[in-house]
Structures are given as structure tokens and as C-alpha cells.
Amino acid sequence: MSQLAVADQEVAMAVKPAAPVRPSVVSISGITKSFGPTLANAGINLSVHTGDVIGLVGGNGAGKSTLMRILCGAMWPTLGSICFADEEVAFAAYDTGEAQRRGIRMVHQELSLCANLSVAENFFLETPADSASRPGWRALYRARARAALDAVFPGNGIDADAEVGHLTIAERQMVEIARAAATPGVKLIVLDEPTSSLDLDRSKQLRAFIRERAKAGLAFIFISHKLQEIIDIASEVVVLRNGRTAWQGHATDASIGKLVQLMGGDANPVHQHAVAAASSQDVLVRLSGALTAGLGRDIDIVRGEIVGLAGLEGSGQRELLHAIFSPGRKQHAAVARRADAGFIAGDRQKEGVFPLWSVLSNISIGALARRSALGLVSDRANRDTATGAAGKLRLDDKRFQSNITELSGGNQQKALVARALVADTPVILLDDPTRGVDIATKQDFYRLCNEVARGGRALVWHTTEDAELLACDRVLVFSGGRIVKELAGEAITEQAIVGASFAQSADGQASAAGKRTALAGFGRKLVKAAPFIGLAAVLAVMIAINPAVASTFGLDLLLMPALSLVLVTAAQMFIVGGSEIDLGVGAFAGLVSVLSATLLYDQPWLGALALVAALAAYAGLGGVIQARKIPAIVVTLGASFIWVGIGYALQPTPGGASPEWLSTLFGWSIGFMPTSIIMIVAVALIVLAIDRLPLGVVLRGFGNNPAAMIRSGWSPTRYALVRYLIAGLFAGAAGLSLTAINTASDINSGNSYTLLSVAAVVMGGCSLLGGIISPIGAVAGAVTLSLIGALLGSLSVSSDYNAATQGLILIALLTLRSLTADRRSEL
């Protein structure tokens, strides 16, 4: 077969010169990529000329994504070469950034937008070059986003200032396509399943746009499972099968039937069993309520049947599987399950395998999970149970001791199925289990499904391959989160499924968005306003007890110590924005304070040098954390020992003196306004300004979706360095303020700020998951927390309660937030 493929390639190559000669955009040849024993790509050649629209098709696991990743610089091949306009480029020097410079853009299947940024800001991330950091840079990108969206999808109605996280999946897909198409200097756009979440009209708009731009010389690679689209739009079609080119030729020579055959479409599952007459006591799962409102009746899933879940991807099939698996939550009231359920995940890496374990452990955990935690584990018993299950799947038990990750995708999937079998549950839920699995395994799998169902269990099967639904006894078609159609027996055809999927996809989306309760909305507002309410309340109480506080002098005295915490909080906020936490930031401020009160005071030059070196070390730490992918918490905790150690070695007991200029820097006054307030506001404004700059947008982008940032060509290590440098500058300023305010230094003076800064950042409304920072709120939070001590003092409460009060405030805020936030992922 491989010889055939090579021969086909040669034919295709020979045909090439006959075509009208257009300049080459890029060509890759001899691309081979191996992952351990498997070859994802084997000797693939692909050449793209201006104006080409290449339709790339192939079954799951055919190697399309790997090939495109290599083409776009996201992955290096094991063998092969790449040429741009006949200039060969070494792969060692080829990465996503280089691919973009050479005009290649990819629209990914998994969306690569930063959800925390606006549409316009996402446009900026893709083409940062023409943004000078002048004021109003957003307007430029806003206009560009508008124009680009209207060019591809007329009448889209997407607001360029809307946060991407608030858009629907289809709208995000549209933004992403428009963004790639609008890039200046783009020569080739790779579209990976661009129409999977678009409705028919948008899909037509997209194809019209591609046709028009191809005439103007732009090249496209169009990957889709919808073969009629490929034949409609492509000028040339490439079929991949098992990592090799199975066929390459003009679209006019291709037909759907031929492509299906070339892709290995003969693997269609055959329906092998008919459900035994169902009796009502055999009902294992009942679906009702809003879910089945479109059908007007409840749906019962009984023993012995295979029920397929169909519809466009993301229409609610997976949600139903998870609801059946863990019913009982409020939003799943429509689902009732009467027997134990097992789950077979298709996304093996994320939801399936335990990568540290052997195959045997991966299988037997299915049975262990249902035993008492205090029970004992016996390897022999595990092996005995697992062997039975593995035998049914033709999974060789000699591989039981291998690490699961050494197995091919198909065999890993077999192990996951075996796990569900040893769990021995009456209901088995399957979430697209044949994704990326070879044909032989699929056949074993279909056979096993029939056997298992015949054995009296119920299978609920979500698949993205419509052909597989033909193996089901019944198919439930989803649209907009609801079941819109039930097909049974002979009525299950691919046409009927596709027809029903698209039927009512328009509504539903909107109603889901409007479901958030008013109470949660109020709670969120309360959380957002908490730092300001807290600050106002604390000040009000203190002024009520001691009116002198309200004077300029009183406020200054009260707020000056808050300045240091505000600065440390600013530093911590940038770290948290990158979804990390710095447990050494307070110690670093303490070190800077010691350096400024000792070295800087005695020998200004040496002191300045030491400060710069400390800052460089701090920024370097960020680089190390990013480059080695190690947990920031532990590294910064370790670093805190280094900072304290250095400070302690320099100055074992508190002392030193503040340089005169430093004291002046923090000691000026303009009379009517407290100096401390001016400085705190200034810090808040500086942070706000950085956040609004393109730099701030990039940093927030990294906090939200680093993978997307890397794809857009941004260097994670460089921006980790920048992030820590900015944080270091703020923490350093905090250290200087400590020296100036205390007119001396103590290495331990900054320690308490570390935890307080985390509390202030959280209180201010920043997300610990990264990407969302709120400078004003965090500053207000920092001031509030630093006033707690003074407040307790004026209430004549012992300062012993200081820490507890701060801790309880932190807990209360986080509790409030976790109760009001929509919880996206469960534990």
C-alpha cells in the first residue's frame, strides 16, 4: 500500500508542471514525524502556490493536524525539508514566529483567542508590528477588526470591543477566521475545520470569501470532514491516510464516494443487533424536562440498547453524558439515573489515561474506584480481572507492565474500555471513544459494543463521526443544548442526522446566556465593590471614633504605611496576572530596603549596582520558572530564603539609614492634599497605564491562554522575564519606600507584605487563574488591609487579632466569590 501511495505522489508530481505556473508560496517535502513507535506523518510532500485552495481530507488520525502543525512551525518533523519560494529553510530555525513572518496563518480547531481580551485586542495580538505604543492604538485595531469581520462575514453584528469570552462559539470562530484573513502580508491561510461550528449561511459566506481572495492570489489549505464543502471550494485535494498521501489531484477529479473510499471509509460500522423488547423495569436512565421539551415526552434508556448522541459539536451531547454520569446537581434535574455508570473518555490525554502508571494499573483503577478506600490492593487479583476484560478487546496482556503512554492511541483506548469493563457498571457512557483510533481497533470496538449491549447493559454513545451512529439502536439529535429529534432503527441515516442537527440551531444559545440568576449577579457586583465598600467602611469607623483622622495630617499619617503594601500589591498583581503567585515578593522588598539603607547609603555606586543585580536576579527567576515549567510558588518560596539570607548577611540587626534624596522623594508635601494619597493614586494610575498599553494586553493574554500566545508568535520566556521585571520594579520601589518611611531598614520588614499582597490582589478582584487584573480594586484592597491594624487599635482590640482579621477577610471574600462565580470545571 505504501508503494501505491508513493506512486500516486509521483503521478501528482509529474502532473504539476502542466498546471499554469504560479509562484510557489511554500513547499514541504519528505515530511516524516514519529512519536515513539508510531509514524504520524510518513514522507508527505505538499506544495502550495498562490491562489491554490487545497482541500486536505483524511480520517481521524490520518496525520492532518500533525502535518499542519509542522507547516506552521508549531512542531518539528523527524525528517523532511521546507522551502519558501525555492529558498530552503532549516527547521531548526523555523518556529511559529518565523512561519508568521513568512505569511502563514493558521485558524485552529481549538480556538486560539484570548477570552479575557476584546475582539480588537485579539486582532492586535496577531499583528502587533504596526502598533506604536501611542495613545489611541486601540482605535486602529477596532477599525481593522470591524473591516475584517465585515469583509468575510457581512452582517455579523459582532462588537469589536466585546470581550471574546462573552461571544458564542460561532462568533469566536468568525473572529478567528477574520483575524487570520486580515493579517497584512499573509500568503497562506490554513483553516482547520472552520465550518464545524458555523451555520450554513456563514459557511457559504466563508466559501465565497475564499473564492474571491484566491483569485487575488491568497492561498488556502482547507481541512474539513464535510466533503461536499471540500469539493465545492478546493482547486486541489490531498487525501491523507495513516500518515501518508493516499491521493492528490484536482478537485474536479474527486467525488465524495471516491474520497470516502480513499480515506478508508470502508470501516463503517455495521449494525449487528436489535434491542430486545424493552420493559419498563429495565429503565436505567430517564431524560425529561427542558432537555426533551422539543420532543414533548420523556426518553427512557433501557438495558441492552445503544443510544447515540448526535448533532453539531458542542450542542449539548457531552453535557448530557456528564449529567448522566453525575446527576443530582440542580441544573441536571432533567436527568435521572437508576444504576451505576462508567465512563469511557475519547480525549485520552485530558480525561483518560493516568500517565505515570502501567497499563494494568490504568485498567484496574476502574474496579478499585468502587471499593472502600481502606481496602487492600493485590496485584494478582488486579491482573486476573484485567486479563478477562483485555481478552475481549484483543489487548495483549504481555503489555500490562508497560507504561500506558508507550501504547498507541488505539491500544490506550482499549485499556480505557477495559477499565470500564472491570468496573462492571450497567450503564456505560462513551465520549467519542474512537477519536484518533485505527480502523482495526475500531472494528474490535464496534464488535465489543454490540456484545456488551447484548449482555444487558445500556450504552450511551456520543460520537463526532456520523457514520458510527449507524451502529446505534436509537439516535438522539441535539441542537442548542436540547434534544430536537429521536431517530430509531431504519430512520437512522446520515442525512436525517445532519438535517436535524442544523434544523433549530439558531435559538437555544440566547436562552442559555440569559439563565444566570439575578442573585449571582448581585453577588458578583458585591464582590467587585468589596474593596471600595471595605475601605469606605473602615475609614468611616475610624473617623467616627477619632475625627482627627479626617484631617490632612491624620490621613497622611494613617496612609503613609499603606504605600509600601500598595507597591508590593502592584508587583504581586502582575505575577497573579500570569496565573502565578510570588511568595518571595515581600522578602525581596525587604532586601531592597536593606540594600538601600546600607550599601546605597554608604557607597551609592556600589549600592545602585547591587540594586540592579537584585532586580536582574528577580526577573531571571521568572525566566527560570517559565523555561523549566516549575511551580512558581515553590521557587519563589525558595527565593524568599535567598533574599532574606542576603539581607541578613548584610545587616544582621535592623539599622542603617535612609539616603537623603530617598527621604525627600517620599517626604515632600503640597499642603492641602495628603502626600500619601497622591502617591497611592499615582501608583494606581501607573499600573493602570501599563495594563492599558499593548504590553499589558500581551501580559494578560499570556495569563489567559499561553498556548494561543505562543501560536501567535509571542515568546513566553521573554514575557515571563518582562512580567517579573515589572513586578521587581514595583517590589523594589516598595523596598525603597520602606527605607524612606522607617528611615532605617530591617530585612524582616517586608515579610508580612507577601501574604497581604496576595490577599489584596484577590480582594481587588483579580482572578487567581490569571489574565484578569483590576489595578484600582487591588490598590483599594491593599489600603483597606493595611488599615485593619489601625482600625483594631482605635476599637481597642489587641493587635494580636490583626492576622486573624486579615485571614478571615480573605476567606470570606474567596467564599463569596466562589459562590457567585460560574464554576466551569468541577474537581
Helices 604-628 and 632-650: angle between axes, nearest 10 degrees = 160
Residue 501 cell numbers, joined: 442537527
Cβ closer to other proteins: 54 or 759? Answer: 759
Phi, psi angle pair for 462, to nearest 5°: -95, 130
Shortest separation between residue 629's beta carbon and other proteins, angstroms: 5
Q: Which stretch binds other proteins (CB under 8 A): 133-141, 597-605, 721-729, 802-810?
A: 802-810
Interface positions, 396-415, toward other proteins (CB under 8 A): 405, 408-410, 412
Candidate residues 353, 500, 530, 539; the one interacting with other proteins per rule CB under 8 A: 353
By C-alpha distance, which of 441, 463, 459, 439 is closest to 449?
459
Phi and psi angles of residue 587, each rounded to the nearest 5 degrees, phi first: -65, -35
Smallest CA-to-CA distance from 501 within 333, 321, 315, 659 is with 315
Residue among 345 and 559 whose Cβ is closer to other proteins: 345
End-to-end CA distance of the chain: 47
- Which of 55, 194, 352, 781 binds other proteins (CB under 8 A)? It is 352
**Which residue of 178, 283, 562, 755 would you call a contact of other proteins, by CB under 8 A?**
755
Instruction: For other proteins, give the closer residue by CB, 404 or 615.
Output: 404
Site for other proteins in 416-475 (CB under 8 A): 419, 423, 425, 435-436, 438-440
376 binds other proteins (CB under 8 A): yes
Indicate the residue among 404 and 500 with the shorter CB distance to other proteins: 404
371 scored as a contact of other proteins (CB under 8 A): yes
The span of 46-54, 359-367, 533-541, 551-559 binding other proteins (CB under 8 A) equals 359-367
Residues from 763 through 782 that contact other proteins (CB under 8 A): 768
- Residues 6 or more apart whose CB falls under 8 angstroms from that of 183 comprise 100, 105, 126, 127
Q: Which is nearer to other proteins, 438 or 468 (CB)?
A: 438
Q: Which residue has the cell 466585546?
A: 162
> Taking CB under 8 A as the rule, does residue 749 contact other proteins?
no
Of 329, 322, 310, 342, nearest to 463 by C-alpha is 310
Residues 539-598 that bind other proteins (CB under 8 A): 581
Which of the residues 189 through 248 are near other proteins (CB under 8 A)? Answer: 242-244
Could you tell me the smallest distance in angstroms from the CB atom of residue 813 to other proteins?
A: 10
- Asked if residue 762 binds other proteins (CB under 8 A), the reply is yes
Gyration radius (Cα) of the chain, Å: 31
Query: Which helix (H) or strand (E) is 597 found in, with range?
Result: helix 585-597
Q: Are strands 188-192 and 219-223 parallel, antiparallel or unpaired?
A: parallel
Closest CB to other proteins among residues 509, 748: 748
- CB of residue 546 vs other proteins: minimum separation in angstroms? 24
The alpha helices in 256-350, defined as continuous H runs, are 256-262, 317-325
Cα–Cα distance measured from residue 311 to residue 306, given in angstroms and rounded to the nearest whole number: 17
In the chain, the amino acid numbered 442 is K
DSSP string covering 417-458: HHHHHHHT-SEEEEESTTTT--HHHHHHHHHHHHHHHHTT-E
Distance CA 726, CA 751 (A): 20
644 is a contact residue toward other proteins (CB under 8 A): yes
Give the interface segment with other proteins, choosing from 295-303, 364-372, 494-502, 559-567 (CB under 8 A).
Answer: 364-372
**Binders of other proteins among 96-135, rule CB under 8 A?**
none
Helix 359-368 with 409-423: angle, nearest 10 deg: 30
Q: Which residues contact 407 (CB under 8 A, 6 or more apart)?
A: 359, 399, 415
Position among 38, 50, 715, 742 found at the interface with other proteins (CB under 8 A):
38
* Interacting residue with other proteins among 641, 660, 682, 707 (CB under 8 A): 641
Closest distance of CB 309 from other proteins, Å = 16
By CB under 8 A, tell whether 374 contacts other proteins.
yes
Least separation in angstroms between residue 239's CB and other proteins is: 14
Which residues, 608 to 637, sit near other proteins by CB under 8 A?
624, 628-631, 633-635, 637
- For residues 435 and 442, give the distance between their C-alpha atoms in angstroms, rounded to a whole number: 9
Measure the CA–CA gap between 448 and 462, rounded to whole angstroms: 16
- Is residue 556 classed as helix, strand or coil in its secondary structure? helix
Smaller CB separation from other proteins, 61 or 777? 61
Binding of other proteins by 87 (CB under 8 A): no
